Structure 1
Amino acid sequence: MSQTEESTKKKTSRTMKVLKVLGILALTGIVLTTVLVIYLYATSLPLADNDRNSRLFDINGEVIATFSSSGKDSTPVKLDQIAPELKEATIAVEDRKFYEHYGFDIVGVGRAILVNIKEMSMAQGASTLTQQLARNLYLTHEKTWSRKIKEAVYTAQLEMNFTKDEILQMYLNEIYYGHGAYGIEAASQLYFGKSAADLTLAESSLLAGVPKGPTYYSPYNNMKKAKDRQKIVLSAMVDTGDITQSEADTAYNEMLDIKPQSERKTNEEAPYFRDYIRNVVVNELGIDSSRLDHGGLNIYSTIDMRMQQAAEDTVARIMDPKSQLQVGLVSIDPRDGYVKAMVGGTNYLTSQYNHALASNRQPASSFKPIMYLTAIESKQLTSVSLFESKPTVFHYDNDRKTYEPSNFGEKYLGWIDMRKAIAVSDNIYAVTTLMQIGYEPVIAMAHKLGITSSLSGVPSLALGTSPVSVFEMASAYSVLANEGQRNAPIAVLKITDAADRIVYKVPEQASEQVVDPASAYVITNLLESVFDTGGTAHRVAGKLARPVAGKTGTTSSDAWMVGYTPELATAVWVGYDEGKEITTTESRRAAPIFAEYTEKALENVPPKVFPVPEGVTSVYVDPTTGKLAGNYCENRRLEVFLRGTEPAEYCTEHYAEPEQDSTEQDIERERDDTWWDHFKNWWTK
């Protein structure tokens, strides 16, 4: 064999060996790739962050909110509920080959690898829509090799498990558009106050440019940069053939109606209540916050979304969103203590501070019923006890200090009884009452009713100068609505884990009789007068089609309306965060909110009178003397008392000879007279 032939044979042998090795490597690669594909296809994707979030249910078992440490504002929508222009704009500027690749842009990946090798770091990445979705759902945004490997795995799994339209839908519902808005629906509502389905080309192209840099390209932060980015998006759409250059120019020059951030509404239901539940679950029930955010818990609450919506709608209608004036509302079912509705402010997105729970508000005259209840139950005073309403200096602390309250508008009515004092909210009568019965019994009564805040034993306590919360006032009044029985407020009924195992269940609680039923009824009857002619809530009486008891309260910086029916106790507060003084017009918003909300919340509930318990008696009295009404007392009224505290003497100040012709009213009065009245009239004649 010649040297040439031998050399050729050796080359052929080496070539065959190389080909064999390459074949083995290729086969191995195919096998490994096949195994990898099968493994990825068979392996479940991890739970996305929003899939692990615990859920909040209302009283009817409907999901109303999720718990997330990120505080996402998101409203998922279907792909066909998103404007076609927005989908086209997003694909054109973010991933033109979206419908062609399998999750990776090979050219882009190669370019990124070269840059990263050169920089010896993760300086650049290739981001298809699928990769961005994988990162947002399952990973952090740190630039490390391990994170990129995980991202690649999850990207491949997404492509294997979902169609392109499903991936695009998930992406558009997940991507961040700035200012707390996650997903296109939240972004569309935020920037344009409309649904994503109604976006125009101009609006779509502006929004599609924001995710590249939500802070940098936000039209709220820099309109010029947002418009520059919009031009890039429109040019990309022209390049992909989605629109013409003429359409792009028209869209760019279109004047956009971007809504002020002050008009922004949250997409989550009952956000203040959700935050309250977080506090209850973590701080009262002892469940770790991380478990609440990522443990897949199901929290079943007492909130009634029909009532909650009524509360939110009423507040939105009556309060001015452009004003800094704030509001707090809490509504409790007195029969079981269930918290039915909670509004903590005018707009959750502009202020997450829950004014319904803030314990730094003076309840003003809405505190007076607690004091009058104390006086009635102790039998020291009755509804016809008379005090003089006049400028008065009160001495206290062993006469070392003085207190000189005044009535609103410096109006003093002379001698009045408790019913009149409550109806017109007379301050002199109130302080006189407190000085007679003492501070400690009133403070003790407040605590029995559910007031947990510290109360100061000073004369101004009668006028509600010790701060409390809206929640406390609703709880206290619920006792009056429930015939003196207290049910501690309940918001969480049950908590289960992802496997539906009980984590917590509210213990059964029996109602506690903290106030005599007869006393509770008498104060309720007196509080109904607040809505009568001359009462401080008379102007909203026409909005109420059922028996209601309640009390207004006003300071220079706070306005209250707290009241109840047999089925619902509600407290409403209106004021400023800074303690700024409220105007007369502003102070008149609390009562209408209470009245309109109460009627909406109970629209399906027939009106019901407050039941009269044992131990209550009713007699006709003369309010000017506080005595039993005689035949000729012109202003007689039927008054309620604890049995045994009603007046025993008859009025002797209104005797006059009757006219020859009795009126119909005289005849009716004679029918109401007792045998003692007839005997006394005969004797005096």
Structure 2
Amino acid sequence: MARTRSATASSGRSTFKTILQGIVYAAVLAVLALIVAVAVAVANLPSYSELTKRNDLGQMIRVRAANGQVLVALGPSFGHWLRYDQIPAEMRAAMISTEDRRFRSHIGVDPIGIGRALVSAVTRGKRVSATSTITQQLARNIFLTNNRSFTRKFKEAILALALERKFSKDQILELYLNRVYFGGGAYGIDAASGKFFGHGADHLSLGEAAIIAGLVKAPSNYSPTADVQAARSRSGVVLQTMVKNGFISADAAANADPASIRIQQTTNNNSVRYFTDWALPQLDQLIDQTQDPIDVWTTLDPGMQAVADKSIRANAPNGVQGALVSMDRDGAVRAMVGGKDYVDSIYNRATQATRQPGSAFKLFVYLSALESGMKPTDTIVDEPITIDGWTPRNSTRTNLGPVSLREAFSRSINTISAKIGAQVGFTTIADMARRFGITTPISTYPSMVLGSSEVRLIDMTRAFASVQNKGVAITPYAIRKVVTADGRILYQHDQMEQRVLVAPWVAAEMTDLLQSAVLSGTGRAAQIGRPVAGKTGTTSSNKDGWFIGFSSGLTTGVWMGRDDAKPIAGLQGGTAPARAFHDFMTVAVANRPVEQFDTQVPIPDWQLTPEEEMYGDTAIDANAMSPSLVDENGMPLENPPAQGVPQQQPMVRPDGTGDPTQQELDQAFPPQQQQQPQRPPPPQPNRDPSSPPPDATEPRTVSP
């Protein structure tokens, strides 16, 4: 029995010894593996100079206005790299005290901190609290992600040990303070100091250093620009921690009053973000550079943008959204408002929303009519009409009988638009809209002439701008150039090859109609004391209101409505949208020269060629083919003005505002029985309308 007990004890000691030896061997192997892993990591770590470049943190993009003003800074903001001896001692002490008080003594990981965290977890039944040292945080920020897996923590520890082997404590702290994220896009203490206090980090005060040190734990929660009180409260905790750890005295902490520290106020770039959100994605098509910091110079005019934002806010009724786009004669977008408040809604109603344009779509109806051979002085009967079971009605619920094309457009008479659609073809009108840049689907049902197909505000504004440009296509653009920090140009905007959409005389007569709509039609509220051409648009039940027009080379479109498309009492294109256009354009073109519209387009040269060249031996009445000119309202001139005689100027009220008098209306709309001049033949089928017939010798031109 004794021998059995002895054998059992001996066997137990042998087993224990074997297990112990296994543990020792495993520990030795683990240590060896750790040493090898650290050695490999040290060998593969980048050099110190490479780690100071910070390219791995992302691309910094500064978006500039046309005048060079910084509109918004996106991506990481770095500031200057500060050497260890340039960093204030208060800043170094605040960070060590807050994040890693044994920084100077541990080997990259803190065994004491890990042990205390484990004991606390066991005794309190909670998960292990964060124990990352400054070196571990640096390793994670540079090489790893923020996931909480054990594998990531193990890699983090290996890299921290390697960093401690390769770099000194001062170098590690310098790297950390210049790379750590402090919120608001600011990486490093210099960027944070500039953002929050308006000065560099090389002369931070103790209180300011405490605020910055307090941000590392939760940048979004303690950011001074987001919550000043939370940032100051957190800085008080940092100061008390510094006292507890022996970095500063209690008197020094008391004198560093966080409440007295001035926080830099951020500029309000609310509506500008609609523009930058639209512009910046275009960089993917323009440049390949995705690492180096860049400056993006845009077309935006800060003054116009401020006025545009104010005009929408002031005129859009309560509960109603508004949008505005304004572009120059070359397509440069000078102002863009996508809604009343970007903070409340980032949805850009100027570029993303598709809404019915109402009568603003009649631009394409009348362009098709003019291109087909109709003229502003042609008479059409306003009467009830039914097309394929559809019976349009005028907004006044009345019919005027015979009216000129100009008056029909000015009064936005629906039955006339329907007649034009039936005559020229609804597909022709849809093709005209696509030709002028409408990118959304267009219906070819008869009701399409009244704007039943949904469109985007920027597309409609582009179409009107192309009319203003004498029928040559306008392509809106936002980015003028992209430049690197060292001045290297990555992209420069070049004007695209001109593409003629309609003949110059068609665009000129369309401008004449648009001018009449503002002078005496539905767009009178848009008058600004100088020539304006434009068109209103109102959808059924007053769900949408539009006004789009141009003056002095600037084309502006305004839309108003509810996002849920509910009716809005009193909303019409000629009310709030036209007033917003007026308020914006009055300021936007104030410093531009007054430009009269060029509506006196002569008969194309191809009609003036000798009759033998055009018709062979066919006899033509030479008097019937004599040149005829029209005045600024599209009305005929019986005798061409003699050379040197001043040209008649477009009709403008003496004070530039208000409704025209009856005498002015009589001049603009003479009796219909007055003899009208012969119209040039319409363009030949399947031929570019801007080019002459095959037998012409010169292209048609418009007087400069």
TM-score > 0.5 by shorter chain: yes
Q: Is 1:141 aligned to residue 176 of structure 2?
A: no
For 2:130 and 2:561, locate their aligned partners in 1 and report how far apart those are by CA, in whole Å. Answer: 52
Taking structure 1 as the reference length, the TM-score comes to 0.63
For 2:335 and 2:342, locate their aligned partners in 1 and report how far apart those are by CA, in whole Å. Answer: 15
For 1:323 and 1:238, locate their aligned partners in 2 and report how far apart those are by CA, in whole Å. Answer: 54
Q: Is 1:577 aligned to residue 563 of structure 2?
A: yes
Letter in 2 for 1:539: A
Residue from 370, 375, 395 that aligns with 2:386:
395
Q: What pairs with 1:462-477 in structure 2 (closer than 5 Å)?
A: 462-477=449-464
Residue from 299, 302, 305 that aligns with 1:304:
299
Cα offset for 1:462? 1.9
Superimposed CA distance per residue, residues 337-364 of structure 1 (whole angstroms, 9 cap, x where no aligned partner): 3344433333334433332222521112
Letter in 1 for 2:523: A
1:279–1:619 CA distance, 2 compared to 1 (3 A): closer
CA contact (8 A) 1:326 1:577 kept: yes
1:225–1:478 CA distance, 2 compared to 1 (3 A): closer
For 2:634 and 2:230, locate their aligned partners in 1 and report how far apart those are by CA, in whole Å. Answer: 77
**The residue matched to 1:352 in structure 2 has which SS?**
coil
For 2:452 and 2:194, locate their aligned partners in 1 and report how far apart those are by CA, in whole Å. Answer: 42
1:583–1:213 CA distance, 2 compared to 1 (3 A): farther
Cα offset for 1:271? 3.1
CA contact (8 A) 1:385 1:417 kept: yes
Q: What pairs with 1:178-577 in structure 2 (closer than 5 Å)?
A: 212-213=217-218, 232=237, 236=241, 265-266=268-269, 270-282=272-284, 294-296=290-292, 298=294, 303-305=298-300, 307-316=301-310, 318-319=312-313, 325-335=320-330, 337-358=331-352, 360-383=354-377, 385-388=379-382, 392=384, 394-397=385-388, 401-407=389-395, 410=397, 416-492=403-479, 509-532=496-519, 535-542=521-528, 546-555=530-539, 556-577=542-563
Residue from 571, 596, 602 that aligns with 1:614:
602
Cα offset for 1:367? 1.4
For 1:386 and 1:509, locate their aligned partners in 2 and report how far apart those are by CA, in whole Å. Answer: 40
> 2:113 aligns to what?
112
Letter in 2 for 1:614: P
1:89–1:476 CA distance, 2 compared to 1 (3 A): farther
Higher mean Cα deviation, 151-160 or 551-560?
A: 151-160
Letter in 1 for 2:276: R
> 1:47 aligns to what?
54
Cα offset for 1:466? 0.7
1:505–1:418 CA distance, 2 compared to 1 (3 A): same
1:238–1:396 CA distance, 2 compared to 1 (3 A): farther
Letter in 1 for 2:570: T
Cα offset for 1:442? 1.4
1:332–1:540 CA distance, 2 compared to 1 (3 A): closer
> 1:656 aligns to what?
none
For 2:426 and 2:226, locate their aligned partners in 1 and report how far apart those are by CA, in whole Å. Answer: 55
Superimposed CA distance per residue, residues 76-97 of structure 1 (whole angstroms, 9 cap, x where no aligned partner): 8899xxxxxxx99998986437
Cα offset for 1:549? 1.2
**The residue matched to 1:636 in structure 2 has which SS?**
helix
1:432–1:211 CA distance, 2 compared to 1 (3 A): farther
For 2:666 and 2:232, locate their aligned partners in 1 and report how far apart those are by CA, in whole Å. Answer: 76
Taking structure 2 as the reference length, the TM-score comes to 0.61
For 2:228 and 2:494, locate their aligned partners in 1 and report how far apart those are by CA, in whole Å. Answer: 56
Q: What pairs with 1:145-160 in structure 2 (closer than 5 Å)?
A: 145-148=154-157, 150=159
For 2:492 and 2:634, locate their aligned partners in 1 and report how far apart those are by CA, in whole Å. Answer: 54
For 1:645 and 1:451, locate their aligned partners in 2 and report how far apart those are by CA, in whole Å. Answer: 38
1:419–1:50 CA distance, 2 compared to 1 (3 A): farther
Cα offset for 1:374? 1.7
For 2:62 and 2:253, locate their aligned partners in 1 and report how far apart those are by CA, in whole Å. Answer: 47
CA contact (8 A) 2:351 2:458 kept: yes
Q: Which runs of no fewer than 5 residues in structure 1 stay unpaired?
A: 1-31, 80-86, 649-685
1:341–1:523 CA distance, 2 compared to 1 (3 A): same
Sequence identity of aligned pairs in percent? 27
Cα offset for 1:235? 5.3
Q: What pairs with 1:640-651 in structure 2 (closer than 5 Å)?
A: 646=676
Cα offset for 1:483? 0.9
CA contact (8 A) 1:57 1:298 kept: no
**The residue matched to 2:282 in structure 1 has which SS?**
helix
CA contact (8 A) 2:327 2:476 kept: yes
Superimposed CA distance per residue, residues 460-494 of structure 1 (whole angstroms, 9 cap, x where no aligned partner): 22221111111211211111111111143444566
Q: Which runs of no fewer than 5 residues in structure 2 stay unpaired?
A: 1-38, 82-87, 200-205, 604-627, 639-661, 679-704
Residue from 577, 581, 585 that aligns with 1:590:
577
Cα offset for 1:326? 3.3
CA contact (8 A) 1:481 1:566 kept: no
For 1:445 and 1:42, locate their aligned partners in 2 and report how far apart those are by CA, in whole Å. Answer: 60
**The residue matched to 1:456 in structure 2 has which SS?**
coil
> 2:15 aligns to what?
none
For 1:103 and 1:585, locate their aligned partners in 2 and report how far apart those are by CA, in whole Å. Answer: 70
CA contact (8 A) 2:109 2:161 kept: no
Cα offset for 1:591? 2.8
For 1:446 and 1:581, locate their aligned partners in 2 and report how far apart those are by CA, in whole Å. Answer: 26
For 1:63 and 1:250, locate their aligned partners in 2 and report how far apart those are by CA, in whole Å. Answer: 30
1:134–1:317 CA distance, 2 compared to 1 (3 A): farther
For 2:536 and 2:585, locate their aligned partners in 1 and report how far apart those are by CA, in whole Å. Answer: 15
Q: What pairs with 1:11-50 in structure 2 (closer than 5 Å)?
A: 43-49=50-56
**The residue matched to 1:531 in structure 2 has which SS?**
helix
> 2:686 aligns to what?
none
**The residue matched to 2:390 in structure 1 has which SS?**
strand
CA contact (8 A) 2:525 2:582 kept: no
Higher mean Cα deviation, 520-529 or 417-426?
A: 417-426
1:276–1:212 CA distance, 2 compared to 1 (3 A): same
Cα offset for 1:40? 5.4
